[in-house]
Amino acid sequence: MAIKANLIIDQGTDFSTTINVTDDAGDAVDLSTYTAAAQIRKHYTSTNSTAFSVTASSLGVVTLTMNNSITANLTAGRYVYDCELTDGSGTVSRLVEGIVTVTPEVTR
């Protein structure tokens, strides 16, 4: 079951957030054999999406990033997102999901 976490992205800025992935004992999960993907969409059924750059480390850390040239092209407002991990056998699991609020940029 995915954790719920809402994000705020300031339009026109570099964005980064990290997610620590631990097992039931609280130890970091080695994600070096996993691939990860994350997208935002205006709503769940949208055909248009914007992808985060995603890295997963052997230290159990997943990092979602989006550079300022991408966030500058996002229309201010609410979006939905999720991040999924795929293990070496092809099993996909959702790590996190939630609402993204893009706040409007004033300085251009």
Residue 104 is given by DSSP the state P
Helices and strands in the chain, H and E counts: 1, 9
pLDDT digits (tens, 9 = 90+) for 53-65: 999 998 999 999 9
User: Is residue 104 domain-resident?
Assistant: no
54 C-beta neighbours (distance < 10 Å), count? 19
Statement: residue 40 has pLDDT above 80: yes
Q: To which residue do tokens 């159990």 refer?
A: 60
Work out the pLDDT band at 1, boundaries 50, 70, 90.
Answer: low
DSSP sequence for 17-50: EEEE-B-TTSPBP--TT-EEEEEEESSTT-S--E
Q: Give pTM, 2 decimals.
A: 0.92
> Is the residue at 106 inside a domain?
no
pLDDT at site 11: 98
Tell me the percentage of the chain whose pLDDT exceeds 70.
99
Domain count within the chain: 1
Q: What's CA 1's distance to the chain center, in Å?
A: 16
Domain CATH for 49: 2.60.40.10
